[in-house]
Amino acid sequence: MKLPVSKNPVLIYPLVTEIEDQTMLKIYDVVFSSKNPIKDINALRNKLKDKRFFEKFFLLLTGIKIEEELAEQLWDEIAKYHNYLISSLGRPIHITATISEYFLNIKRYLKNPSVMDLILTEKIKDKIIQDILTGMYKGHLFEKFVTRELNRSKRHGHKFSLLILQINGLESATISGHTSVALQTVISVASIINSSKRAEDEAFRFSMSKFGMILPHTDKKGALLFANRLLHRINEEVLSISGVVFGLTLSMGIQTYPDDGEDAKTLISNVEKACYKSKLVGPNQIVYQL
């Protein structure tokens, strides 16, 4: 298979669907069979002596075309990031999940969480829907779940509410080199959200700093009470220190079916607007009316 060549260091290509290159075949085997992928991928590279090894590695797994010199640098960063994530989370994670997290929320070469969804295999189906840092659903599933809840609520005549939560200032902390603080903040906030929600509630992570929730059988008043409790807990347990040092604040938006919209797209659009409006109003605000 002839791989595309470009003078640009980073280009997005369609995901590889046919693997004819022997280096790619061996990379694929190591990625999905190794218990120590960092060590084994480096060993494979040294063994094959392919001058475009990491260029092919990233093209295969992400659809990103990266020139070899930069690809090697990114691999070194990903290897360190992988070990950091394992240490922070206290559990093993798959290398593909680290790569996805890295390119979505650290380097941001991709905007679509389809990275690694290619992987064409039953081995990582759970990883496709689950965010590795938080255990929440990935954000691209939000509309699907909202539609499902809307149909259920229509049948039974129930209300439900949507909540969007944004941690303001987190990207700046990451860019300024405080990645570990940013990651720990995300993990801590997600832990509070997960421990605060009911069994029937669903939580989602959209990006490094943005979360969403679906609250079944919850009217506007109930959603506002929940959001206030959540806001208080996060400020008390997480942002009381890091928030002051790094200027982190929260913004929240709430919208309720059918009061604020009768279809999924309208509800999602309105709850996004409510969250954005809360940021304009001031720090640590909750907006529930547009």
Domains, the chain, ordered by start: 10-129 (no CATH), 137-287 (3.30.70.270)
The pLDDT of residue 116 is 46
Chain centroid offset of residue 163 CA: 17
Q: How far apart are CA 239 and CA 248, in angstroms?
A: 7
- For residue 19, the tally of other CB atoms under 10 A from its CB is 15
Residues 6+ apart with CB under 8 A from 17: 118, 120
End-to-end alpha carbon distance in the chain? 53
Looking at 125-227, which runs of residues are DSSP E strands?
137-138, 160-168, 202-205, 210-216
The pLDDT of residue 3 is 35
Q: Which residues of the chain have pLDDT under 70?
A: 1-21, 109-128, 173-178, 241-245
The pLDDT of residue 248 is 85
Q: Which pTM was predicted?
A: 0.64
- For residue 140, the tally of other CB atoms under 10 A from its CB is 15
Q: How far apart are CA 213 and CA 142, in angstroms?
A: 9
How big is the chain, counted in residues?
290
The pLDDT of residue 263 is 96
